[in-house]
Structure 1
Amino acid sequence: MSAFVPYEPLNAPKPFADDVWIVDGPEIRMDYGPTSLPFPTRMTVVRLASGELWVHSPIAPDPALFERVEALGRVRYLVAPNSLHYWYMADWLERYPEVTSHAVPGLEQAKRRFRIDRTLTAGERMAWEDEIAWVLVPGTAVTEAVFFVRRAGVAVLTDLIENFEPARVRKTWLRWLIKLGRADGTTPLDMRATYLPRRKKVARAVGEILEWPVEKVVMAHGRPYERDGAAELRRALRWAARG
């Protein structure tokens, strides 16, 4: 039995906002110190004005998933949005070799190498930036790029906020770990530890994020916020905004 009650259906694009879909994928195990922990997976797909697709944090490859995504448009951009969410980029690049791949700094030495066409470095301008704003939140062990789909009012995060729902966690020990680790609607403590050494830069980045007119928020793990997005961001990121 999986550790989490899944957000079904899996491997199927689900409308989240205008031209924005979320796709919940299979549960995986991620290395965590000397052990590994279960995590649900999720990617976000945005259809740009051109009709092309921008894919954030690609999940495990699946033939039916590829067909469902292709029904939405032509995949044009793939994004590895933080130092942990990159594993399946290689699979998606094999399927779509003509796309432009983007990654946060540091993934050139990732455990599983993949082609990086553009590095998400602060100050660099991306081809899709008129439609999707972005900010780099620099950490020591984990750096994350946070995005804002302007037309849809959707903020797209990865691990900067995790929002696991206790009712969906089947294992008691995991519910306690999520609660103690503050992974239930804010930035988990282990993630905060990687950002605190660079707190001034993080505060500036979070300040930019909080200026966006956000209506909805989607993150890689847990329940998205489908209303009051700006208020949820202010609450969840209050610790970082203080600098």
Structure 2
Amino acid sequence: MANVTYQPVDEPKAVAPEVWVVDSGPLRIAGMPIPVRMTVIRLPDGGLLLHSATQFSFELLRMLEALGAIRHLVAPNTVHWTYVREWQSHCPAAITWGAPGLRRRKAVAEAGLHIGRDLADGTTPEWQDVIETVVVHGRGIAEAALFHRPSGTLVLTDLVVNVEPRKLPLPVSVGARLVGAAAPHGRAPVYARAAFKAGGERAAAAAARLVALQPERVIFAHGRWFESNGAAELRRSLDWLLPG
């Protein structure tokens, strides 16, 4: 199912200064193939941050280590953490960051995933003020968005899904349209929107902060990401969550 993915897969592709994406997959959800993506950011100290790690391979590890030492592994929401455990085993010196509440999930404990730090709003000394974190809290779900200030790049996971129907098998493309996650006007699937919308004013305020960052580009885990006109595209995709 190579057409589902964004070729080439499982190798870093530069998208902005100090920012790369690694397209992978297809990831199968209930047997349905969808593309999946990791974002890599190189920090001022030369170390790498891996956001929403995709499938591990020694070849990918080699390519990433050519860019810098892997120092941070980010599990940014309550779903995108399953590949992090294997990256931990091969990058033992890296700090693993988890979305709020992730460490308390039974499946995480059973998988042996160790969360070293919890993601929180604002900046952290480890990321040397080049990354701002905005946490969007919903009901039973939380997602931590990272904004890389030097490149104007906002990194999300599932707050925006923009899969391209032409790249998917017919049943999946129909499903993507039905749940509102189909390009070119993709949003989070309707069930995810309901969970985040239940976060009320707090979630709406976080969405407004994301748009106020005025990102030049917006990267997310599934589908065609916003390579340009990021702020306007983000405002459209988050219109269901924004205040008013």
Give, as a single letter, the amino acid of the residue that structure 2 aligns with 1:116: I
What is the aligned length?
237
The alpha-carbon deviation at position 136 of structure 1 amounts to: 0.5
In 2: Cα distance, 1:226 partner to 1:136 partner: 22
Equivalent residue, structure 2, for 1:221: 222
Equivalent residue, structure 2, for 1:212: 213
8 Å CA contact 2:4, 2:35 repeated in 1: no
Compared CA separation, residues 215 and 110, structure 1 to 2 (3 A): farther
Indicate the SS of the match to 2:154.
strand
Equivalent residue, structure 2, for 1:190: 191
1:37 and 2:32 correspond: yes
Q: How does 1:37-186 map to 2 (within 5 A)?
A: 37-108=32-103, 109-111=105-107, 112-122=111-121, 125=124, 127-128=126-127, 130-169=129-168, 171-184=169-182, 185-186=186-187
Runs of 4+ in 1 over 6 A off after TM superposition: none
The alpha-carbon deviation at position 114 of structure 1 amounts to: 0.7
Unaligned 5+ runs, structure 1: none
The alpha-carbon deviation at position 123 of structure 1 amounts to: 6.3
The alpha-carbon deviation at position 126 of structure 1 amounts to: 5.2
Give, as a single letter, the amino acid of the residue that structure 2 aligns with 1:213: Q
Give, as a single letter, the amino acid of the residue that structure 2 aligns with 1:183: A
Indicate the SS of the match to 1:192.
helix
8 Å CA contact 2:36, 2:223 repeated in 1: no
In 1: Cα distance, 2:218 partner to 2:123 partner: 24
In 2: Cα distance, 1:114 partner to 1:217 partner: 28
1:238 and 2:236 correspond: no
In 2: Cα distance, 1:11 partner to 1:110 partner: 29
TM-score by length of 2: 0.92
The alpha-carbon deviation at position 54 of structure 1 amounts to: 0.8
In 1: Cα distance, 2:123 partner to 2:34 partner: 32
In 2: Cα distance, 1:131 partner to 1:110 partner: 33
Give, as a single letter, the amino acid of the residue that structure 2 aligns with 1:114: L
**Deviations for 1:191-220, whole angstroms, at most 9, x for unmatched residues?**
111112212111110111111031011100
Aligned identity (percent) is: 38
8 Å CA contact 2:35, 2:222 repeated in 1: yes
Indicate the SS of the match to 1:146.
strand
In 1: Cα distance, 2:35 partner to 2:112 partner: 22
Give, as a single letter, the amino acid of the residue that structure 2 aligns with 1:102: W
In 2: Cα distance, 1:96 partner to 1:9 partner: 24
